[in-house]
Structures are given as C-alpha cells and as structure tokens.
Amino acid sequence: VLGWVQLNGVNQPEILKIKIPELDIEYETLSNNEGFAEIKFSSEFELWSPENPKLYKVIVKSKKDEVTDEIGFRNIEVKGNKVLLNNTPIFLKSVNIHEENPFKAAKAYSKEDALILLNWAKDLGCNMVRLAHYPHSEYMVKLAEKMGLMVWSEIPVYQHIEFSNPEVPQKMDLMMKEMIRRDRNRCAVVIWSLSNETYTSTPNRDSALIELTKQCKLLDSTRLITHVINNQGYENNTFNVWDTLYNYVDIIALNEYLGWYVPWQGKPSDTKWKFVNDKPVFISEFGGEALFGSNLGPKDEAASWSEEYQEKIYQDQIEMFNEVPNLIGVSPWILVDYRSSGRMHPVYQKGYNRKGLISEKGEKKKAWYIMKEYYENN
C-alpha cells in the first residue's frame, strides 16, 4: 500500500497513525515540517472486486484529529492488450448513465436516486458504470463501490472546446484535480476519462490534452486514463481508428453509432478494424433511439423509432463486437431515456433522448434484454 497524509498548515514533525482494525494493522509514519507524511506498508488484504466488494475501516490519526473512511484495496492495470483487475483479465461490462432520476425528471443527487440507477445497472449484468460526462454525486460513487460496480469518472471536456483560450487548460486542470481529490480513495474508480468527442482540427487541442494526460498520470498512477474519440474513419465496412491522443492513454475508447447515425456498409460480422496501436479497445458509446411501445411505421427503418429497430441495432453491434481486436469492454448509450432540449420530435421524442434501454417511466425496451443476455455470456 502506497499513500500519503497531508496535515493542514505548516507543522512541526509529528507521528501519524494508520489503523485498519480488521487486519490488526497499526502503522506509524512521521510528517515533515510541511505536514506531509508518506505511507508504505504491506498486508494480506481481501482484494476488492465486483464479485467481492470488500471494504475495510481505515483510521488516520494525528495528535488532534482523526479521519475514518471505508477503503477497498485492488489493482487495475494494462498488460499488453488486456486490462487486469487484481492480476486477472477482466471484460468491462458497462452502461452509460446520466445523473438524472427519470421518475422525478430531475437531477439525481440523493442516495435514493443513485440506487434507482445503480440497481438497474446491476440488473443489466454490469460490472462497471460510465458516469457521463461529468463527475456524479458522491452517493453514486460510494454506492457503486459497495455494490461491486467499477466506476469510470469523467470531466466535462466535450466537443466544441476552445482549447486556444488560455483559461481553458487552467479550468481543465482544476476539474481534473478536483475529480481526483474527491475520489482518490475510492477503489471502485478504475478509469479517469479526460475528454469526450473532441476534434483534432481544433487549435491547441492535442497539446492541451496531452499535457492534461501527463499531469493526471503524475497525480495518480493507480488508475487507467483515457480520452473518448469519435473521429475514426469508416469506409468499405472498415474502421480506421486513429488519434494522436491514443498514444498517451491506457485504453483506446471510441464512440460509434452504426445502424443509427451511420448506416452499415456490410455485414456486421465482416467489419474490419485498423488501430493506431495495439492497446486494449473499449466501445464507449453505441445504440439508437426508440420510443417504448412504438409500433408505428416499418420496423426495419430508423425513422420508425420502433423498439424492434433499436433491438436490431444491438443485435448487429454484438455480432460486430465478436470481431473487434483487443476488445476489453463495451458501454451502450444509455441506461435510461433522459431529458434533452434539442430532441423535439413531436411524436417520438418530446424533449427526451430516446436511446435509453429503459424509458423514463422505468419500462425496459427490447434492446435491454439483448444487452443483458450478452453480459450474462461474457
């Protein structure tokens, strides 16, 4: 175990104690004149995992203060083109979640709100949740940890960002540090995502995000780091997946919406892939919109907004997943239909993004069962 303790203010050196009662650990370390103390010790831990989300009571004591937390111990890393949790390869079965309680049509901020969303994720068969596109409430992260759900946490660096504005890199750096500071002791958090769908053509984009990535790695070496990209080429049923940022991340994460925004150019099982390097690959978004119960229009046309068409998208995507090299996980967009002021189709949307596997009333669409079966078999 490696760590540190920082006391407030400048102090004379003093002894700090780390206690883990369940393991009879009482570790002492000495702070320096700035109140900083390093922690380094070993023990036989029961490691945290989705199957066994073990947490230990950890007490940190100084002369005049004491902090108690529940902390799990685990290791997440990349070896070759695999992701390993506690030295064992793992397939990341995820779902995207927005911080919204559909029954209230309001932001999800309470423990009860978080449980609604996370219980659905567990029911789907997930072992991870992608909390898009911003850090969610502490309830969401802490409950996910207790329920055995790994967490992908992300800062809101999204699409049309003006990277050439000198204030933008400063703001990104602040958001990244705040995200890490709050959840650095949450073992469920296994991925820091530092951007989503930004464009190589944007001035200063590469240099700003590369520097942000380097700073993130310096601050935290215990988690994987990624950027989500959607600028891959698709021609002759072949993906050409490239981006300068992929040379600096731990996993290649990409969003693709074949069958919805982009038509298939051949059989899903015949899709070919070209990658800029040999890193693990994660499909971070895919799917399409459907109105629960819709039976209007042809079922084989996207314009019908039918559950059957969405179901077919998921069937085709899963057929394609079987051919993706180095695939270590997927995350459909999205768990639940959510409010979106730009989605104003008067019949099918009415102010909602309908890509959810579940309607805003809690009704499970046909695609839900396709995804659930896929996760049960992987």
* Model pTM above 0.85: yes
> 205 is written with which tokens?
């984009």
347 pLDDT exceeds 80? yes
Would you state the pLDDT for residue 74?
97
- Phi and psi angles of residue 168, each rounded to the nearest 5 degrees, phi first: -65, -50
CA 331 – CA 317 distance, rounded (Å): 11
Would you state the pLDDT for residue 9?
75
Question: Residue 105 — very low, low, confident or very high, per pLDDT cuts 50/70/90?
Answer: confident
Q: Report pLDDT digits (tens) over 242-276.
A: 999 999 999 999 999 999 999 999 999 999 999 99
Query: Is the dihedral angle over the CA atoms 18, 23, 24, 25 positive or is it negative?
Result: negative
> 355 is written with which tokens?
């890509």
- Closest-CA residue to 254 (of 154, 347, 329): 329
Would you state the pLDDT for residue 301?
85
Q: Where are the beta strands (DSSP E) in 245-334?
A: 252-255, 272-275, 281-285, 327-330
Q: Report pLDDT digits (tens) over 167-214.
A: 999 999 999 999 999 999 999 999 999 999 999 999 999 999 999 999
Please give the average per-residue pLDDT across 101-129, as a whole number.
Answer: 96
10 pLDDT exceeds 80? no
- Closest-CA residue to 191 (of 125, 110, 96, 111): 96
CA 141 – CA 194 distance, rounded (Å): 17
CA 223 – CA 189 distance, rounded (Å): 8
Would you state the pLDDT for residue 84?
98
Length of the chain: 378
CA 375 – CA 373 distance, rounded (Å): 5
| pLDDT, averaged across the chain | 96
Going from the C-alpha of 354 to that of each of 58, 124, 252, 314, 358, the distances in angstroms are 43, 18, 27, 14, 9
Pairing of strands 25-30, 15-20: antiparallel
The CA dihedral of 348, 352, 358, 362, to the nearest 10 degrees, is: -100
Percent of the chain residues past pLDDT 90, beyond the cut = 94
Q: Which residue has the tokens 């219980």?
A: 119
Q: Report pLDDT digits (tens) over 126-153.
A: 999 999 999 999 999 999 999 999 999 9
297 pLDDT exceeds 80? no
CA 205 – CA 272 distance, rounded (Å): 29
CA 348 – CA 177 distance, rounded (Å): 40
